[in-house]
Structure 1
């Protein structure tokens, strides 16, 4: 069977790309609507649209993963296709790097350009007097033009705990990968299971952090540029952790079924790449959003 597909394997037509596009469209529309409704203090169809998009996305992931696994276990993939998968995953992670680079760029622009400019730096005293006379050039911005005051999310407590959790999860995933390469299936199973547990704990604590921000600190999406950048960066990162955890759960069930060998385990390797990337992003986020 391998010889038949030695040059390249072309899969059959699949409905999953268009299903995924519909899911992402619903998520984008739903998320944007939820933000607008939250800002205006209204309730509408945003939550329902976002939920529908997430459900469709999960259906797409389940169906597409199943097709990929069946093709791989049937011996249809060749070395050439394996190289294509590695190139594709590398470019995907690169696109994610640029995705977060744009958000970090927005943070740096607001902090080092807009804030000093509004504060009257570079001979802009007139701008300061006209646009926001009581503005204080400091970061984080805890005062908004309408007079609302918020509190800053401290790096101590949940953010630091979550940082430790993600760093430890990278170590456990590395030992899981080592166990796979050395044919130590018990080590592979346990370390991968611990990694998944740590990811779920991280997400649970992030929910607690958001509750604390809204209820105790008055830190919301309406809290000016500081609140916007805080929830934008941490929220999108949380979404990536959620996706990474789903990928690891799929890999865990495949491990239980006896899939993967030291010679053929790129799916596991790709999941590891993604998880380590998410961890690196969080370390940068922790430094630039919480500490500095």
Structure 2
């Protein structure tokens, strides 16, 4: 206060307060500071939505595969009780299914129930998806190691069907094309091109379904025409184990893309609301890469 009851003019260099009483940093207006605080609060709120379900699913998968390995080891060597492996596999399966169910509900169904709710933390979902895919590499890796042991030991098998034909080439092209359409669908969403996004995402779903139909037809040809089945020696076990596991992954991916299409048609996605698109696309590209490696090692490798 100045003398004589007059109010001193405000110091333009003194820190100001916004509407909530917070001190505004020098060089910012209260409105700018409020916007900054709002973004900060939003970011902090977003980071509360870290998904634990991919890690739960990965732990369950580890228990399942470890149980199967323990069961085989127990049967072959007697070092561990086979029932221990069965119990571990059962528990692992339950945890795996619970993790997948929780993940699907949290990442897909909950946002669909409340599409206007607070956006989830994209980075946390993407990072946990990458962790899940890293653990999934070990799943395929175990079966590939088994196949490599087959190649070193009992090779060549007595009866090997013609693996490398036009069907697998067409199927491979279809899966690669689906990965390309998914990538450009995501780009279209980021550019806010809704019609192009919906068209490419729907195309990805159709290509995934066609791939599954092609793999089912291939199985039919091998089993009905060639007599080549899961019980056709160690190579049959490796072939159907690897392609069947991959087919399961493709089926899960197609289910995820179908949910994306359903939500996209309801207008749940936009340039800044693409967490589900980003996570499913990572999974789908992973499935595509595994298939290419599988074709090179299993189909081409067994034919040379």
Q: TM-score, normalised by structure 2?
A: 0.66
Of 125, 130, 142, the residue aligned with 1:85 is: 125
Which residues of 2 match residues 3-14 of structure 1 at below 5 A? Answer: 6-8=43-45
Count of residue pairs brought into register by the alignment: 234
Give the aligned partner of residue 286 of structure 1. Answer: 295
Which residues of 2 match residues 56-75 of structure 1 at below 5 A? Answer: 63-64=105-106, 65-70=108-113, 73-75=116-118
Instruction: Tell me how large the CA RMSD over aligned residues is.
Output: 3.6
Give the aligned partner of residue 204 of structure 1. Answer: 213
Give the aligned partner of residue 277 of structure 1. Answer: 286
1:173 Cα deviation after fit: 1.1
CA distance in 1, matches of 2:127, 2:210: 32
Give the aligned partner of residue 181 of structure 1. Answer: 190
What are the ranges of 5 or more consecutive residues in structure 2 without an aligned counterpart? 1-37, 66-93
CA distance in 2, matches of 1:57, 1:249: 20
Which residues of 2 match residues 9-28 of structure 1 at below 5 A? Answer: none
Per-residue CA deviations over 1:205-233 (Å, capped at 9, x if unaligned) read: 11111111111111111101110000000
Alignment partner of 1:7: what SS? helix
Which residues of 2 match residues 1-292 of structure 1 at below 5 A? Answer: 6-8=43-45, 63-64=105-106, 65-70=108-113, 73-75=116-118, 77=120, 81-112=121-152, 114-115=153-154, 138-139=155-156, 141-142=157-158, 150-292=159-301
CA distance in 1, matches of 2:104, 2:131: 23
CA distance in 2, matches of 1:91, 1:58: 14
1:109 Cα deviation after fit: 1.7
What are the ranges of 5 or more consecutive residues in structure 1 without an aligned counterpart? 29-52, 116-137, 143-149
Alignment partner of 2:44: what SS? coil
1:68 Cα deviation after fit: 4.3
CA distance in 2, matches of 1:6, 1:262: 17
CA distance in 2, matches of 1:103, 1:229: 7
Give the aligned partner of residue 132 of structure 1. Answer: none
1:70 Cα deviation after fit: 4.0
CA distance in 1, matches of 2:146, 2:255: 29
> CA 1:290/1:173 → structure 2, altered by over 3 Å: closer, same or farther?
same
Please list every run of at least 4 consecutive aligned residues from structure 1 whose deviation after the TM superposition is greater than 6 angstroms.
1-5, 55-62
Per-residue CA deviations over 1:136-193 (Å, capped at 9, x if unaligned) read: xx33x13xxxxxxx44242112111110110111111112111111111111111111
